[in-house]
Amino acid sequence: MTSVTSLFASVEADLYLLSENLKNLIGASHPILYAAAEHLFGAGGKRLRPAIVLLVSRATITNSKITPRHRRLAEITEMIHTASLVHDDVIDESDVRRTVPTVNSLFNNRIAVLAGDFLFGQSAWYLANLDNLEVVKLLSEVIKDMAEGEIQQGLSRFDTTTTIEGYLAKTYNKTASLMANSAKAAGCLSGVSDQVAENLYHYGRNLGLAFQIVDDILDFTASTDVLGKPAGSDLVSGNLTAPVLFALEEKPYLEVLIEREFAQPEDKEQALALVRDSKGIQRSREMAAKYAQAAVKNISVLKPSESKQALIDLSDYVLSRLY
């Protein structure tokens, strides 16, 4: 499997600079908020979302260097993503994220919520200072979408009438909106045409949907060590993802287990077995592949470059995480 590190080789220096800048951007206005934010940005991670912004920036400005505004957009994108994770961890009552203690477990829920709000506020301030109304609109839409996605997920817990369309709408809001709108915003800062900007939006949207569907499959197929949380966590918390929704079509007893919220000791293992024994995982793989392939078509409008190739390879990487 191609590593993320090699995929991002053309923006490796940019990503290193981003990591250093993020700690400076949060400021030291309050020691606890600073400690919380520093912990988050020091935890590393793939930096997938800012890497997409940087790759799109380099792919759309072929004759000159990317600007400080492109770099700032990448930083804002990571700040928004991180803020959403902090709030997610509070809602999900998570103690660990990818083997690193969460802010709510290190401090408490009150500090975690405030740290998330602080990061959203900081990102909004830096966003306004880009002095580009179109970009402000795009990234403001993301923050609205993320909140809406979290509400959609909360309201549909253990709801076996959830449709694939509803699942995809929630997935767009929670995951794909940031990739879609930040990719388009990078193009806007490069001065691309409206048509190319739309293509970049759809690249991010399709890649984001594929990425989350793959994540949802891994919840059933990967080990606890790989996931950094127990397998089947989403299902047990009532978050019905693509593999479950497809499995429900052929395993009626799964509906019984979900609707009684896994009240019996053996319910969880029985439900996981039913999903794994169905075509739900395979159908989800096919759906993820469809979105990943669409993403590649979306950026056919870009001129050949190392960064464009990395964007293409990224869609292959997203699917390769399954194998």
pLDDT of the residue at 90: 78
User: What's the confidence (pLDDT) of residue 172?
Assistant: 98
Residue 41: the pLDDT is 66
> Is residue 299 within 8 Å of 286, Cβ to Cβ?
no
Q: Please determine, for residue 44, whether its predicted confidence score (pLDDT) is greater than 60.
A: no
Q: How far apart are CA 49 and CA 81, in angstroms?
A: 8
| Of the candidate ranges 20-34, 158-172, 202-216, 229-243, the one whose mean pLDDT is the lowest | 20-34
- Beta strands of 52-163 (E only): which ranges? 96-97, 100-101
Name the one residue in this structure whose structure tokens are 């287990």. 257
Contact in structure between 83 and 146 (CB atoms under 8 Å): no
Average pLDDT on 269-282 reads 96
Tell the CATH topology of 2-319. Farnesyl Diphosphate Synthase (1.10.600)
310, 7 contact by CB (below 8 A): yes
Cα separation, 130 vs 140, in Å, equals 13
Q: Are 287 and 245 a contacting pair, CB within 8 Å?
A: no
Give, for 101, the enclosing helix (H) or strand (E): strand 100-101
Predicted pLDDT of residue 3? 64
- Looking at residue 39, its pLDDT comes to 64
Q: pLDDT confidence of 21, banded at 50, 70, 90?
A: confident
Give CA–CA dist 229/142, Å, rounded. 27
What CA–CA distance (Å, rounded) separates 53 from 32?
30
Per-residue pLDDT at 222 = 79
SS3 of the chain: helix, strand, coil, percent, to 5: 75, 0, 25
| Sign of the dihedral through C-alpha 276, 279, 282, 283 | negative
**Residue 35 CA to chain centroid, in angstroms?**
24
pLDDT beyond 90 at 158: yes
**Rounded to whole angstroms, what are the CA distances from 211 to 29, 262, 288?**
35, 28, 7
Pairing of strands 96-97, 100-101: antiparallel
Q: d(Cα 260, Cα 266) in Å, to the nearest integer?
A: 12
> What is the pLDDT confidence band of residue 27, given thresholds at 50, 70 and 90?
low
Question: 97 pairs with which residues across the strands?
Answer: 100
pTM over 0.75: yes
Mean pLDDT of 68-74: 95
Between 181 and 63, whose confidence is greater?
Answer: 181
Spatial separation of the C-alpha atoms in residues 84 and 191, rounded to whole Å: 29
pLDDT averaged over the chain?
Answer: 89
Structure letter (DSSP) for residue 162? -
**Rg for the chain (alpha carbons), in Å?**
20
* Whole-number percent of the chain with pLDDT over 90: 65
Q: Identity (one letter) of the amino acid at 187?
A: G
The pLDDT confidence band at residue 105, using thresholds 50, 70 and 90, is confident
CA nearest neighbour of 297 among 210, 214, 206, 208: 206
What is the model's pLDDT at position 85?
A: 84
Average confidence (pLDDT) over 163-182:
97
Over 80: is that where the pLDDT of 143 sits? yes
Mean pLDDT of 230-248: 93
Which single residue is written with the structure tokens 């050949």? 304
Is the model's pLDDT at 38 over the cut of 70? no
**CA 252 to mean position of chain CA atoms:** 31
Task: Evaluate if residue 95 carries a pLDDT over 80.
Answer: no
Q: What is the pLDDT of residue 50?
A: 93
